[in-house]
């Protein structure tokens, strides 16, 4: 029977030390649930650096291109107007006055695109069910999730390794 | 292994002489308990009284707006000479107030200022509500508000008459809508983990369900936190130039015209610092009441107030220098129209407004050089209101005095606000306060997840030193 261990700690530093110790023994830590970001946990449990910032740059470039294209289309190509003696002849001549809107629209697309990507990648969307194993993990407790199916060790060996890590509570459930 | 433990226990994370950011010996649980208490418990009598008063003012304001829309812009005190006055004054004032929230949440995040964590959530809420109030004014000043969509570049049936992308007024449409929506998502993304905390604590079924929906199923996974921190940093990075651009663009509404008193290159930096100045004053006014009402004295204490007062001295002094520079340049330029615009400001029919502005914005923030005043709750509260009044008059002076006497003396006139003018402005104060009070009742007013990250480095060594 596959098993899932939820190991609870009452301090982030204790969890960090425990995770380092377990990983040092070759144990794979599936997930960590915490009420705030634990700095330094990512390299220990093998989380790669997020590429979210790159997507933001791509959204910004998309916004910039769309804004410049749209302003060129409306002001220069589709219906050029002479407003207050300041005619709209070419994109190059008009570019200085197009800068504010280009900038704002780039920021608009970068921010919203990145937030939407973040929510989709996290699978955190309105009305989604919570998946933290214990409600206290959003308050003051820190939980490490270890499963037998991602580890070569037997459930008994895992349990004995986990028990010596200064934990607060240990819950062992059958894997669904 | 032992070495690691020793490292962790002996690690010096903070200065031992800097005052702590969180007073008392708190645990993670204490932080949750203190911040969630107003949401979990019944509403206090004080809150009920406050929201009743603010709602009445809000209803009066909505009535004034409806009267204005029903009657037309003639209900305002505008005339042929002064075509812009009270409405745009209020617009600029409200947008300016909003700037402090973004400055606290974005700029101070980039500078790694940990003290911002106690005030960023409410300051961001203030930003959002202030920008909503600002947006009311350009909306209602159109007269035919049902045609408000004309400001957006939509294809239409009148030939393809597009909006004018060369106009600062259109830049404003993009700046304000970007600023509002980006501030809103920045604020909400930070709220999601805190809503999850409330969801997991809430016992009332309906409220639990609501916070469940609002928390988007947040579970606090390590990867999600990594993304969360990256997102916050990048959003702060792009919100910083955004906040500078917004008030620069607002100032260009005036600076790109040829009206003496408006046509100055100093306007963008002058408006941005003025905005931060007034915004911080409003944050002080609201925070000083909130910390008392919700018993958050350990989280927002005199050190936070002092830090904010230092920002007020800096930005207030920039504003003061800008006023004097304007006066100097109007004389030094030798342009008689420019000179007259400024002579008229301080000695003309609106001189009272000018001197109120000078007193409130130039003299009063300088009092914060005195440590006793800078570290006094009462003095800060009074001065924050004085600054808010001063900054309102600044916009009034810039707008009305520059318009009411133009090149042709036969067309000189004066602006006198009507009851509708005043009603709409007072009403926006009421709507703003109602929204802010509702926020304090149903939302976590401090950023729980961020505060917990600084708990261990919030001055333990300072506190231990005090005990010894």
Q: Is B293 exposed, middle or buried (0-12, 13-18, 19+ CB in 10 A)?
A: middle
Long-range contacts of the stretch B212-216 (C-beta < 8 A, 24+): B212/A127, B212/A129, B212/A130, B213/A126, B213/A127, B214/A126, B215/A130, B216/A119, B216/A124, B216/A125, B216/A126, B216/A127, B216/A128, B216/B192
Containing B375, the helix (H) or strand (E) segment is: none
User: Would you call A119 and B216 a contact, using CB atoms and an 8 Å cutoff?
Assistant: yes
CA dist B332 and B338 (Å) reads: 10
> What's the gap in Å between the CA of B179 and the closest CA on chain A?
8
Model pLDDT for residues B93-114, shown as the tens digit of each residue: 999 998 888 888 888 888 888 8
User: Would you call B196 and A38 a contact, using CB atoms and an 8 Å cutoff?
Assistant: no
pLDDT band at residue B460 under the 50/70/90 scheme? low
- A35: CB partners within 8 A, 6+ apart: A137, A138, A139, A140, A141, A142, B28, B32, B193, B197, B220, B448, B449, B452
Tokens (6 digits) for B284: 């002080």
Tokens (6 digits) for B113: 């200022």
CA dist A49 and A68 (Å) reads: 33
State the DSSP code for A7. Answer: E
Give me the residue spans of the domains in chain B. 53-77+417-436
State the DSSP code for B145. Answer: G
Q: Is the pLDDT assigned to residue B9 strictly greater than 80? A: no
Specify whether domain A3-48+130-174 bears CATH 3.30.70: yes
CA dist A128 and B196 (Å) reads: 11
User: Would you call B222 and A47 a contact, using CB atoms and an 8 Å cutoff?
Assistant: yes
CB B140 within 8 A of CB B129: no
Model pLDDT for residues B127-153, shown as the tens digit of each residue: 999 999 999 999 898 888 888 888 888
Tokens (6 digits) for A88: 């709209």
The pLDDT score that the predictor gives to residue B3 is: 39
Q: What is the pLDDT along chain A (176 residues), one digit of tens a residue?
A: 788 889 999 888 888 899 998 888 888 888 999 999 998 888 988 889 999 999 999 999 999 999 999 999 988 888 888 877 777 888 888 888 899 999 999 999 999 999 999 999 999 999 889 888 888 999 889 999 988 888 888 888 888 888 888 888 888 888 76
CA dist B407 and B412 (Å) reads: 9
Across the A:B interface, residue pairs with CB atoms under 8 Å apart total 213
On chain A, the residues whose CB falls within 8 A of the CB of B234 are 52-53, 56, 110, 114
Phi (first) and psi of residue B448, to 5 degrees: -55, -55
Q: Is the ipTM of this complex over 0.90?
A: yes
């Amino acid at each position: 029977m596959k098993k899932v261990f939820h190991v609870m700690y009452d301090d982030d530093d204790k969890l960090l030390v425990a995770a380092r110790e377990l990983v040092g023994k070759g144990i794979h830590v599936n997930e960590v649930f915490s009420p705030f970001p634990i700095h330094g946990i990512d390299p220990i449990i093998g989380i790669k650096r997020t590429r979210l910032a790159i997507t933001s740059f791509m959204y910004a470039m998309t916004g910039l291109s769309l804004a410049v294209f749209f302003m060129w289309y409306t002001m220069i190509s589709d219906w050029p107007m002479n407003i207050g003696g300041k005619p709209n002849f070419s994109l190059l001549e008009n570019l200085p006055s197009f800068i504010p809107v280009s900038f704002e629209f780039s920021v608009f697309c970068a921010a919203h695109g990145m937030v939407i990507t973040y929510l989709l990648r996290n699978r955190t969307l309105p009305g989604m069910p919570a998946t933290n194993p214990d409600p206290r993990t959003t308050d003051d407790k820190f939980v490490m999730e270890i499963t037998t199916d991602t580890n070569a060790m037997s459930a008994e060996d895992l349990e004995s390794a986990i028990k010596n890590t200064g934990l607060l509570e240990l819950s062992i459930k059958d894997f669904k | 292994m032992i070495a690691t433990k020793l490292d962790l226990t002996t690690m010096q994370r903070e200065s031992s002489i800097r005052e702590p950011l969180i007073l008392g010996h708190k645990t993670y649980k204490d932080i949750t308990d203190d911040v969630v208490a107003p949401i979990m418990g019944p509403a206090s009598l004080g809150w009920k009284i406050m929201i009743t008063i603010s709602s009445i003012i809000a209803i009066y304001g909505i009535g004034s707006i409806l009267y204005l829309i029903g009657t037309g812009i003639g209900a305002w005190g505008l005339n042929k000479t002064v075509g812009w006055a009270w409405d745009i004054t209020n617009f600029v004032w409200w947008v300016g107030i909003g700037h402090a929230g973004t400055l606290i949440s974005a700029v101070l995040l980039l500078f790694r200022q940990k003290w911002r964590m106690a005030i960023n959530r409410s300051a961001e809420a203030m930003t959002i509500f202030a920008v909503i109030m600002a947006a009311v004014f350009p909306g209602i000043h159109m007269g035919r508000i049902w045609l408000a969509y004309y400001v957006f570049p939509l294809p239409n049936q009148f030939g393809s008459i597009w909006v004018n992308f060369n106009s600062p007024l259109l830049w404003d449409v993009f700046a304000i809508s970007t600023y509002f929506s980006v501030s809103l998502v920045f604020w909400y993304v930070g709220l999601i983990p805190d809503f999850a905390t409330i969801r997991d604590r809430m016992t009332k079924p309906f409220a639990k369900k609501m916070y469940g929906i609002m928390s988007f199923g947040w579970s606090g996974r390590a990867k999600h936190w990594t993304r969360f921190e990256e997102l916050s940093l990048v959003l702060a990075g792009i919100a910083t130039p955004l906040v500078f651009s917004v008030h620069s663009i607002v100032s260009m509404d005036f600076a790109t015209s040829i009206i003496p008193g408006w046509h100055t290159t100093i306007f963008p930096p002058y408006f941005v610092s003025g905005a931060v100045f007034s915004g911080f004053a409003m944050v002080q006014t609201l925070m000083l009441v909130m910390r008392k009402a919700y018993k958050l004295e350990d989280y927002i204490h005199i050190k936070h107030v002092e830090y904010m007062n230092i920002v007020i001295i800096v930005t207030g002094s920039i504003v003061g220098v800008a006023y004097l520079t304007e006066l100097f340049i109007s004389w030094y330029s030798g342009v008689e129209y420019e000179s007259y615009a400024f002579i008229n400001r301080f000695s003309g029919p609106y001189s009272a407004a000018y001197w109120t502005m000078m007193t409130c914005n130039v003299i009063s923030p300088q009092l914060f050089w005195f440590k006793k005043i800078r570290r006094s709750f009462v003095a800060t509260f009074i001065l924050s209101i004085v600054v808010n009044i001063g900054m309102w008059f600044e916009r009034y002076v810039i707008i009305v005095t520059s318009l009411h006497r133009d090149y042709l003396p036969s067309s000189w006139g004066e602006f006198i606000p009507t009851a509708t003018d005043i009603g709409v402005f007072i009403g926006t104060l009421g709507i703003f306060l109602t929204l802010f009070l509702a926020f304090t009742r149903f939302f976590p007013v401090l950023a729980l997840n961020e505060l917990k990250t600084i708990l261990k480095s919030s001055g333990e060594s300072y506190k231990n030193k005090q005990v010894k």
